[in-house]
Amino acid sequence: MNQQNIFDDTISIIKAYAPDLTKEELTMDTIINTETAVDSLGFVLIISKLEGKYNIRIPDRQISKFITIGDVVKYISKKAS
């Protein structure tokens, strides 16, 4: 599973659960807290969908360390491999 696929999955899940995004185009550098309309509970929901898709478990303490979408993609890429 390459990073592009994980990125695409992440974006589609974010768009499904947070349709009112403040930024139209989401990139690896998009900052989750300030450039999307995803709040902390919504973000956990997105993470849980990604966990299910990639059959991994991300510790709660790790979730609070994610800043950008790229951070999430890279972490999953490392874990899933």
Partner 1 sequence: MNIKFTKLNNMLTNRAIFEDYPCIKYLIDDKLVVISNKEFFNNCLIYKKIVKEMGISSLAILLPKSPELIYYFLGSILAGSRTCLIDNTEPIEKIEQMLRTFQPQYIAKNNDDFSADENLSIENTLVNKTNINSASEGDAVFFTSGTSGPAKGVLLSASSLLASAYNGQEMLPCHDGDVVLSLLPFSHIYGFICTFLWPLCYGGIICLGRGMRSLLTDPKIFSPTILPIIPSLATFLLLHDALDENIKTILIGAGPLSENIIRLIKKKNIILSFGYGLTETSSGVAISVNNSDPLAMAKCPGNEFKIEEDGRILIKSNTVMLGYFNDAKSTSQVMKDGYFITNDIGFIDKNGCLHISGRTDDIIILENGTKFNCAKAEEDFQKQMPYLDFAFAESNGKIKFVYYSKDVSKLEMDKYINAFNSSQPIYSKISIIEKLEHPLYRTKTNKIQRYKL
Footprint on this chain of partner 1 (rule: CB under 8 A)? 31, 33-34, 39-45, 47-48, 51, 59-61, 63-65, 67-68
Shorter beta-carbon distance to partner 1: residue 4 or 78: 78
CB of 35 to partner 1, least distance (A): 9
Shorter beta-carbon distance to partner 1: residue 4 or 31: 31
State the Cα torsion 7-12-14-18 to the nearest 10°: 160
CA–CA dist 81, 68 (Å, integer): 20
CB of 26 to partner 1, least distance (A): 15
CB of 64 to partner 1, least distance (A): 4
Q: Are 49 and 72 in contact (CB under 8 A)?
A: no
